[in-house]
Amino acid sequence: MENFLIKRKVFGSISELSIDHEQYKTILNAINIEKEAFFLEQKYDFIVENYAEFEDELLKVGVRDLIFSSQNRTWYNINRALFDRRIMNLLTTFKTYEDTYPQHLNRIFGKDLIQLNSAKAKFSSEYDSRLGYKTMCKLRNYIQHEGLPVHGSYYHSQWLAAGEERKGINRNTVDPFLRPEELRSGGFNRTVLQELEKAGEKIDLKMLVRDFMEGLSIGHVFLRSLLTQNLIDANKILKDVLSLYGNNFPEEKSLIGLAIIHATSDGDVKETFFNTSSENHRVYLENKNRELVNLSKQYVSSEVVNN
């Protein structure tokens, strides 16, 4: 004998609604779709936040280099280690995302591999067309087994003469770089290394990281589009269930702790809770992390602009 119920698992609540096995499976599937989609958005957000921290550190270090004089070698080494750490954090969270997004899609779509193959093809296309994307992927493997991503940093100070409006302006930048020569002795991917060597002896890591983030963003936004209809359907199912329960038990002033329950005659009980807050947060993250368009062509400045 099996029982399928909708019930609040909180002290004092005795309201329960019986459902059949098919209803239970439909509701459970809808809950799981929203959960897996939330995990995808949260992991992608970790990547974007780590990228933002990398850019933040460049600005902070640049300001301190501008304001404070007599910086010594230790100060520069500390900054280099800081840039290493930010890039390693970025690539570690990316690796988590890269390794697990197929599992999340499989849990949503089951044995239907069309969407998963489409997502893989999109990410592969971005990889093939972007030096920054393929470099960051291979650099992640390199730093796990061998070296560090930052091989040095330039601290530039340049007076700008072009254009009357910008004449007399001094621009200061911090430019961590990668040196392809340092990758030759290890196990770094040879095909990508050859492309890097053609790009120069020292390559600005900002350019590579931003190109990587653009490509990853395009891939993730495409992945989102694959989930759109499933999320719409799941959201409708769960809203209808919440309304049904609320209409049947108006004395329940809150739906906190609401769960679907599968109970068997031998005492086994499986409880799966509704989690509207995670779905709301998923929507927030989706609105927060829009596609990063032309990221490599933009920069932030504290320059005074005469309007």
Taking only the tens place, the pLDDT of each residue in 173-204 is: 999 999 999 998 878 999 999 999 999 999 99
Torsion of CA 92, 98, 103, 108, to 10 degrees: 120
pTM for this prediction: 0.93
Which range in 42-46, 255-259, 275-279 is most confidently predicted, on average pLDDT?
42-46
pLDDT in tens, 257-274: 899 999 998 889 999 999
Sign, Cα dihedral of 70, 74, 154, 88: negative
- Asked whether residue 215 is assigned to any structural domain, the reply reads yes
List all residues 6 or more positions away from 10 whose beta carbon is below 8 Å from its beta carbon.
256, 257
Of 40-49, 61-70, 128-137, least confident by mean pLDDT is 61-70
Residue 177: inside a domain: yes
Decide which of 70 and 209 is more confident. Answer: 209
Count of the separate structural domains present in the chain: 1
Residue ranges of alpha helices (H) inside 110-179 are 114-129, 131-145
In a domain, 105, yes or no: yes
Helix (H) or strand (E) holding 285: helix 276-288
**Mean pLDDT of the chain, nearest integer:** 92
- The reply to whether 305 falls in a domain is no
Closest CA to 17 of 302, 259, 306, 297: 259
Give domain status of residue 72, yes or no. yes
DSSP 8-state symbol, 258: E
Tell me what pLDDT residue 165 has: 61
CA–CA distance from 208 to each of 6, 12, 176, 189, 214 (Å)? Answer: 51, 58, 11, 16, 10
Q: Is residue 302 part of a domain?
A: no
Q: Is residue 176 part of a domain?
A: yes
Q: How confident is the model at residue 234 (pLDDT cuts 50, 70, 90)?
A: very high
Mean pLDDT computed over 277-281: 91
For residues 205-220, average pLDDT:
97
Q: How far is CA 18 from CA 245, 254, 265, in A?
A: 10, 19, 16
119 occurs within a structural domain: yes
pLDDT of 71 reads: 79
pLDDT score of 307 more than 60: no
Taking residues 4-20, report their average pLDDT.
88
| Tokens representing residue 139 in the block | 């650099």
* Range of the structural domain that residue 181 is part of: 2-297
Which of 18-32, 60-74, 100-114 shows the lowest per-residue confidence on average (mean pLDDT)? 60-74
Write the pLDDT tens digit of every residue in 105-119: 999 998 889 999 999
